[in-house]
Homo-oligomer: A and B are copies of this chain.
Amino acid sequence: MIMPYAKPQQDRIQRLRAFCLEHKRMPAYSEMLNLFGYRSKNAVYRFMQKLEAAGYVRRAAPRKFAPTGRLTGSIRLLGTVQAGFPSPAEEELVDVLSLDEFLVQRPEATYMLTVSGDSMIDAGIHPGDIVLVERGGLTRNGDIVVAQVDGEWTIKYFSKRGRIVRLEPANKAYQPIVPRHSLVIGGIVKAVIRKYR
């Protein structure tokens, strides 16, 4: 074997990842003794230094570690379906990221809404889908927005030509809306999520 110690290290990283995901915190060195199978805290100390160099953890403060997205990001991102699908045996680290960090830029301004109605179905937004809405961003033509027009909330494409704002559905059965009295942009749709089962 070329790298006889790569396996145990990957295993320890996996254990640390599991611990962080389950307990939502870093284990103390004394807990890592059991977790990693060491009997000396110095071994833990040096292992954590390697993890820091490898980007799995970072120093949050003196004497304190915090996990990075590399460690606690829960989902592995692979290529496209046609590009191939690694076998469970390979199981190599491609990239790991957290859905929260992947989808949400400003958590304090982001909301989830369940969609009802089929006015955006041609854009692949079905009834029952969940949209991630971010308040307060800059609205541009072509954005999908949650808007209150003349007192009623809808999801539509945003389109502004000159001073005329049009809210366009993605369904030929509906007509574009031109606000008569009031228009409030509740937020921009940043993502659509459909959950099965």
Question: Which residues in chain A, 4-43, are within 8 Å of chain B measured between CB atoms?
Answer: 18, 21, 23-26, 28, 31
Q: Is the CB of B110 within 8 A of A74?
A: yes
Contact in complex: B23, A84 (CB < 8 Å): no
Q: How far is the CB of A19 from chain B (nearest CB, A)?
A: 10
Interface: A115 (CB within 8 A): yes
The answer on a CB contact under 8 Å between B193 and A107 is no
Q: Provide the bound-state CA to CA distance between A74 and B114, in Å.
A: 17
Q: Which residues of B have CB within 8 Å of A167?
A: none
- Report if A92 contacts B (CB, 8 A): no
Interface magnitude class on chain A: 35 or more
| B-contacting residues, A98-151, CB 8 Å | 98-100, 102-104, 107-108, 110-117, 121, 124-126, 129, 132, 135, 143-144, 146, 148
Is A88 in the interface zone, CB < 8 Å from B?
Answer: yes
CB–CB A195/B191 < 8 A? yes
Interface-forming stretch among A45-53, A60-68, A175-183? A60-68
A77 to chain B, nearest CB (A): 5
| A111 adjacent to B81 (CB under 8 Å) | no
Q: Which among A24, A72, A126, A143 has the highest number of chain B CB atoms within 10 Å?
A: A24
Give chain A interface residues in 142-173, CB to chain B under 8 Å. 143-144, 146, 148, 152-155
A24 to B18, CA, bound (A): 15
Q: Return chain B residues, CB-CB under 8 Å to A132.
A: 75
Residue of B nearest to A84 (CB): B153
